[in-house]
Structure 1
Amino acid sequence: MEPSSTVLQEVEQYVQQRLLEQLPATFVFHNYEHAAEVAEVAEGLAKAASLTAADKEVLLLAAWLQDIDMVNGKADHESRSADTAKQFLQEHQLSDEIAERVAGLILSTQSDYTPDTLLEKLLHDANWSFVGRKRFFKKARLLRLENEHLDKEKFSQAEWNQHILDLLIFTKFLTPWAQEMYGSRKTTNISTQRQNLVEAREDTVREKTGKNFGRGIDTLYRVALRNHSNLSTIADGKANMIISVNTLVLSLIITVGTATFSLDSLDLSGQLYFIIPLFILMVSSLLAIIFAVLSAMPKVGGESFTMKDVKQNKLSLLFFGNFIKIDREIFVNYLRELKKDQELVYDDLTRDLYNLGEVLNRKYYMLMIAYRIFMGGLIVSVTAFLIAYLIAH
């Protein structure tokens, strides 16, 4: 028995009932709507190719029935659908030859098979016609949802956009009629998808570099680094004040002492009340100057490290005391990798912040010693002067 419009109607009703009632909800792409679209495109291609009535009916039967056994799983559904279609057609009194042809067409949709006959090529083009339609990107989103649910595989936006671009580029229409009907739109979709991929990659870079986190984190580091810098400036100012005052004191002591005393006429016992306080003040001023200079003295040398530490991102090369120890190209590559990963950027800023804290700790520790020596020297020298004066008189 040859296929007829009645058989096609029964097939359509069978596919509609089976897919709508039994197909899991996770099949948001390979569903009844998809089957109907493929059958509609196949009919248009059959008309364009001027197929005989028999070939057209075989093509349409295969288009409707190719995913009929998707209800039992996506894996190897083509072979199961071919068997189900063959059984259904035989039960509806179609000849074994037609049933075999339909089953063969369904098997030709397997991914590892290259279509050879005209009907196989037409079915292939009908299946992939969505890549050359305006609704392609909506269908692509449904395909992503289906793949992620069924295959349990998550894609980043950039990865999925690359996958879709590859799909558009490497999917080719095998008949001139499909190329004429869908080729132009496919080219437009490729152009659009290229731009989508560029934007997705830019978004990925922004995420990795932290630009999508707003200004909060950047402000945190900026304020902390500025505070450290201000504290360092204050410490240097205090050190400069200690150095200036004590240098002036030393200059006065040396000048007055040289003008007042001579070794020929100096009566050490008579001038003891004056010599000892001056000596104490001179020593304390000298020590205060030394510690103030140590506080303000820049530290050029960085941390001790190996190239293994650099590769494992265990130190910050942003500090000039570290990066001057490596080759320029290594430093350039280091910054290139740093710009790709927001975590590395903030880790480096954190290390840099910690290093500044260590420098500040050393500065203020030395400065504290200098101030205590200066204050202690003043107290002791004045006390010594008073005691010596009282004893002498």
Structure 2
Amino acid sequence: MNYQALLDEVKAHTLSFFNARQDNLHVYHNLSHTTDVVKAATQIANHYQLNDRDFFIVLTAAWFHDTGYLAGEAKGHEEKGAELAAAFLQERGFDAEGIQAVKNCILATRLPQQPHTLNERIVCDADLFHLGTDDFIDRNKLMRKEVEAIYHVQITKDDFRAKTISLFESHHYHTDYCQLLLNDKKEQNLQRLKAKAAAAGNKDAPATAPASLLAAETAARTSKKSDRPERGIETMFRISSNNHQRLSDMADNKAHIMITTTSIIISVLLSVMIRKLEEFPHLTIPVILLLGVCVITMVFSILATRPTLTGGTFTPADIAEKKVNLLFFGNFYKMTLEEYDQGMQQLMADRDFLYGNLIRDVHSQGIVLGRKYRLLRIAYNVFMFGIVISVVSFLIASIFFR
């Protein structure tokens, strides 16, 4: 299925849907919000390197997730949006399992959010992505304006601020990517709301409230700036380690595919073709050539996934000289708990030692990945060129030497 072409249809349909129903009431749940959610969903999905099908499911859910607002009431809009998405996809012949996955992603955005799959977590985090960005203040003002317009009520700033604080305190991002990327800014936005609520609640000294609020925000910004290098470094190491782990999983999957494919070909050659060589002697060379290609490919694929272990021990001198990486199990799996605990206590007490271990760990992961992908590249090249040569040899043998 051409998912990109179908996704283009989804985009065109929802754009037409919103443009035909735009009004002065839905100043928040409108096309602007929807495109922001789609953009955030794309960013998160790209980080997790979703396949084409899951990428289509996530973005389709993002496009349709708030269509229910303009096709009915705000209450139960998730169910309405899921129905609209299902009807559209059914008309295009999309499979029932995929339709249900899109519906589940939309329904997962109901508050309190309770996503179960990665796709659902991505859509949920994209829907409330703005809570951890600088756009939160403007978006929150639009939300208050929309609620007042739809329900014909006046909501004081204090009441709406209290509800927003409650939302912040009950919400958490579901993907580790958004947690690392947005949690700090989300916490800053929450503290700003609480500071304003405290200032507004100080009835005895209204004149000093703005100054107190300004001081609190200035202190928060100062603290944020002082914390930013440490947090930024830790975030960098987490993201790098997670990316390396995903790349390692991808390499293992590629090797597994190649091992499975070559195993099937070898089984067929040994069980069928070898016994037929007396009847078809002209195929001897092509069969041996194909068998050799599969064996070489399998060997390199196995080498790419074969684990290697180091000595598993370290000495007090290694700790004193800060030469050992205590974050890699291969350096301590033969040590006792007491010895490892002593080493870790020294590691956590020494900033340079700690960051040195993190650097060594990322570097070691990179070396392992380089070896894996180098061996996999050889395996795929041997298989690709070998298959071509084998097929050509089969054709030549069948045409000229039969």
TM-score by length of 1: 0.49
**Larger Rg belongs to:** 1
Higher RCO (C-alpha 8 Å, min separation 6): 1
TM-score by length of 2: 0.48
